[in-house]
């Protein structure tokens, strides 16, 4: 038995109406009316999301906090291991190379600029080209 529907006037721009017409089939809606009603329910849920804490059980929040904490711990352990390996590599290089303090400082400044410019996306090939004077 179909539920009773209320009829009311709706004014929308032609662009919005075209959007509804275009997206109706993608959402398996039988009519534009069905699409708009679904959209209203979705948006109402979005607006009500601020109050969702009242509806979510506390165990959900605790579980999410645990997942985030595990991820943070794993990332911290991996970063520590990486820092140790980089330190080993730097010490091996420093023991074999004769580089002045001023050259190291110039290189550090260049590397800081490069990392900032590339947002951390650096490559060994670019470093080789720079060291060979190609860059």
Residues 108-135: tens digit of each pLDDT = 898 899 889 888 888 888 888 888 888 6
CA distance 12 to 120: 46
Q: What is the pTM of this model?
A: 0.45
pLDDT for the residue 94: 87
- Give every CB contact of residue 110 below 8 A, 6+ residues apart in sequence: 130
Chain length of the chain: 135
CA distance 112 to 117: 9
Domain positions in the chain: 14-53, 58-98, 100-135
pLDDT for the residue 123: 84
Quick one: how many helices (H) and strands (E) in the chain?
5, 0
């Amino acid at each position: 038995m179909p539920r009773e529907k209320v009829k009311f006037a709706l004014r929308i721009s032609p662009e919005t109406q075209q959007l509804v017409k275009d997206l109706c089939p993608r959402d398996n809606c039988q009519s534009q009316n069905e699409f708009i009603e679904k959209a209203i329910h979705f948006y109402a849920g979005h607006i009500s999301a601020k109050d969702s804490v009242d509806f979510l059980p506390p165990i959900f929040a605790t579980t999410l906090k645990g997942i985030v904490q595990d991820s943070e711990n794993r990332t911290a352990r991996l970063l520590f291991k990486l820092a140790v390996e980089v330190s080993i590599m730097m010490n091996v290089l420093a023991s074999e190379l004769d580089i002045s303090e001023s050259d190291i400082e110039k290189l550090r400044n260049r590397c800081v600029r490069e990392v900032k410019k590339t947002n951390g996306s650096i490559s060994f090939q670019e470093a080789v080209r720079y060291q060979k004077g190609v860059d």
